[in-house]
Amino acid sequence: MRSLPARRTAAVALTAAASVVLLAGPAFAHVTVNPGNAPQGGYTAVDFRVPNENDTASTVKLEVNLPLDHPLASVRTLPMPGWTTTVEKAKLDKPLKVHGNDVNEAVSKITWTADAGTKIAPGQFQEFRVSLGPLPTDTDKLIFKALQSYDNGDVVRWIDEAKDGQPEPAKPAPVLALDKAAAGDDHGVTATSSPSAAADGHGHGDATNQAAAGSSTKSSDSTARVLAVVGIVVGLVGAAFGVLGLRRKNGGSAS
């Protein structure tokens, strides 16, 4: 029969293992931008990934606010069957200079509303694709505050900004990190490219390929994190049974 200390040791180890799994789960359930990074000055195609976190309600609307402190001259949405897309624009206090031309307004918000019979049900997720550009060169990130609405009236506000050195907020806003473009890199279209590039979307194909590559990288990172969590759980459980085996052996020797 196991001793009381041995049973307590096993219980503590198993509880710790379960806690690791539970804490790791929510990290993958935020509204996010995928891929999470893109080169400064170019165009990119990103997906706003929306998981349904409610066990009893379905997501029926997503609102994404675009930053007007770093406005984007070109914003285009990919048609989504079953969803109605609305794009709102705002007048800029200071015109944006793109390809030698002044841009006086920029997209401020995109709203996707589910048509009748369409929803993101519990246990499901949806991706909403947008092409953006030219990306600014005077910041290292773009923050997209988002609101997720459910058919029971609940609204989840993904608007909190992460602070350096502090834990991630409970409802973080989706963030697109901007990397400095490598010298001589001609992928995507920069603000110094020909005016026709912005007009006809030239370079968006390259941006889509970059987005796919970035999405693959992010998927690999997520897999690595999951495997790390599993490794921790296995290690904790193994340690618990190791302690139990040692105590049994010692108990047998004493007799």
pLDDT, tens digit (0-9, with 9 covering 90-100), for 114-162:
999 999 999 999 999 999 999 999 999 999 999 999 999 999 999 999 8
- Which pLDDT does position 124 carry in this prediction? 97
* C-alpha–C-alpha distance, residues 204 and 189, integer Å: 8
- Which pLDDT does position 229 carry in this prediction? 52
User: Which of the four pLDDT bands, split at 50, 70 and 90, describes residue 223?
Assistant: very low
- Which pLDDT does position 242 carry in this prediction? 56
Give Cα 235 to chain centroid, integer Å. 29
Packed helices 4-24 and 204-254: angle between N→C axes, nearest 10 degrees: 180
Lowest mean pLDDT among 194-198, 209-213, 231-235, 243-247: 194-198
* C-alpha–C-alpha distance, residues 144 and 108, integer Å: 10
Lowest mean pLDDT among 67-71, 134-138, 200-204, 244-248: 200-204
Q: Is the pLDDT of residue 187 over 50?
A: no
Query: What's the rounded mean pLDDT across residues 226-252?
Result: 54
Q: What are the beta bridge partners of residue 89?
A: 107
- Which pLDDT does position 19 carry in this prediction? 45
Task: Note every long-range contact of 161-166, with CB atoms under 8 Å and residues 24 or more positions apart, other chains counting.
Answer: none
- Which pLDDT does position 164 carry in this prediction? 83
Two tokens, residue 102:
């002044």
- Which pLDDT does position 166 carry in this prediction? 85
Q: Is the pLDDT of residue 239 over 70?
A: no
The CA-atom distances, in angstroms, between 175 and each of 60, 136, 222 are 22, 14, 17
The CA-atom distances, in angstroms, between 26 and each of 63, 186, 234, 235, 242 are 21, 38, 20, 22, 30
- Which pLDDT does position 130 carry in this prediction? 98
User: Which of the four pLDDT bands, split at 50, 70 and 90, describes residue 235?
Assistant: low
The CA-atom distances, in angstroms, between 81 and each of 110, 113, 160 are 16, 11, 30
- Which pLDDT does position 165 carry in this prediction? 84
- Which pLDDT does position 141 carry in this prediction? 96
Helix (H, G, I), strand (E, B) or coil at 155: strand
- Which pLDDT does position 8 carry in this prediction? 58
- Please tell me whether the overall predicted TM-score, pTM, comes out greater than 0.75 for this model: no
Q: Is the pLDDT of residue 196 over 80?
A: no
Higher pLDDT, residue 30 or 182? 30
User: Which of the four pLDDT bands, split at 50, 70 and 90, describes residue 215?
Assistant: very low
- Which pLDDT does position 168 carry in this prediction? 87
User: Residue 82 is which amino acid?
Assistant: G
Average pLDDT, the chain: 76
- Which pLDDT does position 64 carry in this prediction? 98
Q: Which helix (H) or strand (E) holds 62?
A: strand 59-65
- Which pLDDT does position 69 carry in this prediction? 93
Q: Is the pLDDT of residue 28 over 90?
A: no
